[in-house]
Amino acid sequence: MRNCDWTEKVSLLIDGELGSEEANAVETHLGDCFACRMAREDFLLFRHRISSYQPDINLLAQREALRNILAAGRADNSTADPALASPAVGRRFSFAGLFALPSLNPGLVAASVLVLVCVVAGLLMLRGDSKPEQVATNPQTAPAPPSTSAPVASPERAGRTDGQGTVNSGVVDPTGGPGHIEVVKIRPKGVGSNELVKGFQPKGVGGTNSGDKYRPKGATDIDARAGREESAKLPREVLDIPFVIPPRVDVEALEFSEAEVASGVVTGRADAPTGLSTARHAEQAQNLLRSFRNASAADASDLAYERERSQELLYQNIVLRREAARGGKTSVEATLSQLETILLDIANLPEKPASEDVRSIKNRMERKNIVAMLQVAARD
């Protein structure tokens, strides 16, 4: 496996990290250099394998996790001491909590010894109520028992508090280096700035809905619908937690079954994909993307055509991507996968899209260098 000097540039090209001039130069070089073409194939294959990895989680586990977190959050708010309030999250932490002692202060030890002495001395007479009495007779030394609704967390899990709002949460400070544990300040709501976010600058990433504002536009939706069927079987209290999926074009609903494709049922759909070649599709997609790139975001009506055309091409794209996957054409499949997310975003634009959203899709196109990739796909 011989590497050419341009291999690093190929890596940058597929990440969309090259300027247009440099990207063109690398594209030209790719035409002549077999080693670089192989490198690109391999890099795209790795990309495909890594990005198509599906985590092994189901909706029920996800709901449970959310419920635990929200419950922990509520407990935090209802008691001033987060170290005592946070319940163990997850199996590991639940077990850890069993072995955690609230503290080992001398008062507690003295009270325990006293209890033991009493138990031994008057076992029959005092059975059943000796312990509460001992705790109650010495309120100065015995710590208040933790609330039954809020299990005592282990030191590992919940950390300790110094009573000043400073909590050693047992969590690596996100602003610190690897393996570096620092005291993390969790400030009371609405007071001062948060140390955890120091160093972050707002980027002004916007979105069409509240979920999108957290998502740089490239992020892939994985498994958002994986448990939808499962939800029919879920217990009521799990389903009660709000689960909001913004209205989108549903790729799953667009997927054709093998039988459908084989039997030609899909020809009944708009812009039937039968008989299409990848090259032709790549050309059509290029035209659409160029048109979208040149469209003025200020005039929303300009994008009506692009939106509609994206929806049409999405059908074709899904069929061709699946065909490429079946035929083992990994680089074509990877390119079509990249294209699909762009088409989906354009198809999902509202009637009057915010210029920010349009710009962000354009930026993604630029970053992915999708038009250049389509050119290559059309040539191949």
Partner 1 sequence: MASRDEEFARFFDEFYPSLCRFLECLLGGRGAARQTAQDVAQESFLQLHRTGLENLPEGEARFWLFRVARNLALNELNKRQTRHRLFDKVASAFRAHVPGPEEEFEMAERRQRVLEMLSLLPEHQRTALLLREQEEMSYREIAEVLGVSEAKVKVDVFRARTSLREKWGRREAALAARGQAG
Report the site for partner 1 in 179-218 (rule: CB under 8 A): 179-181, 186, 189, 194, 196-197, 199-206, 210-211, 213-216, 218
- The window from 9-17, 122-130, 284-292, 318-326 that contacts partner 1 (CB under 8 A) reads 9-17
Q: Minimum CB separation from partner 1 for residue 355, in Å?
A: 16
Tell which one of 19, 22, 28, 90 touches partner 1 (CB under 8 A).
90
Q: Could you write out the DSSP letters of every residue in 235-297?
A: -HHHHTS---------HHHHPPPHHHHHHTGGGGSTT--TT--HHHHHHHHHHHHHHHHHS-T
- H-only helix segments in 127-208: 130-137, 155-158
Smallest distance, Å, CB 368 to partner 1? 8
Q: Which stretch binds partner 1 (CB under 8 A): 68-76, 97-105, 121-129, 319-327?
A: 68-76
Q: How many CA atoms lie within 13 A of 367 on its CB side?
A: 12
Report the first-to-last Cα separation within the chain, whole angstroms: 23
Q: Is 98 in the site for partner 1 (CB under 8 A)?
A: no
Q: Is 46 in the site for partner 1 (CB under 8 A)?
A: yes
86-90 long-range Cβ contacts below 8 angstroms, 24+ apart: 86/150, 86/153, 86/157, 86/158, 87/150, 87/151, 87/153, 88/151, 88/153, 88/154, 88/157, 89/65, 89/157
CA 342, CA 335: separation in Å to the nearest integer?
11
Rule CB under 8 A: choose which of 222, 239, 265, 304 binds partner 1: 222
Smallest separation, CB 306 to partner 1 (Å): 22
Site for partner 1 in 254-313 (CB under 8 A): none
In this complex, which beta carbon is closest to partner 1, that of residue 248 or of residue 307?
Answer: 248
Closest C-alpha to 334, from 315, 350, 321: 321
Q: How far is the CB of 319 from partner 1 (least distance, A)?
A: 22
- CB closer to partner 1, 67 vs 131: 67
According to the binding rule CB under 8 A, does residue 51 interact with partner 1? yes
Contact set for partner 1, span 325-364 (CB under 8 A):
364
Q: Tell whether residue 49 is a contact of partner 1 (CB under 8 A).
A: yes
Judged by CB, which is closer to partner 1: 245, or 262?
245
Q: Which of residues 230-259 bind partner 1 (CB under 8 A)?
A: 241-245
Nearer to partner 1, 279 or 354 (CB): 354
Distance of CA 101 to the CA centre of its chain: 35
Percent of the chain as helix, strand, coil, to the nearest 5? 55, 0, 40
Chain positions 134 to 173 lying near partner 1, rule: CB under 8 A, are: 169, 171-173
> Which residues 6+ apart lie within 8 Å of 147 measured at CB?
79, 84
Q: Is the CB of 99 or the CB of 214 nearer to partner 1? A: 214
For position 81 contacting partner 1 by CB under 8 A, the verdict is no
What per-residue string of b and e applies to 106-126 under the rule 16 or more CB within 10 Å gives b?
eebeebeebbeebeeeeeeee
Instruction: Work out which of 5, 8, 230, 308 binds partner 1, going by CB under 8 A.
Output: 8
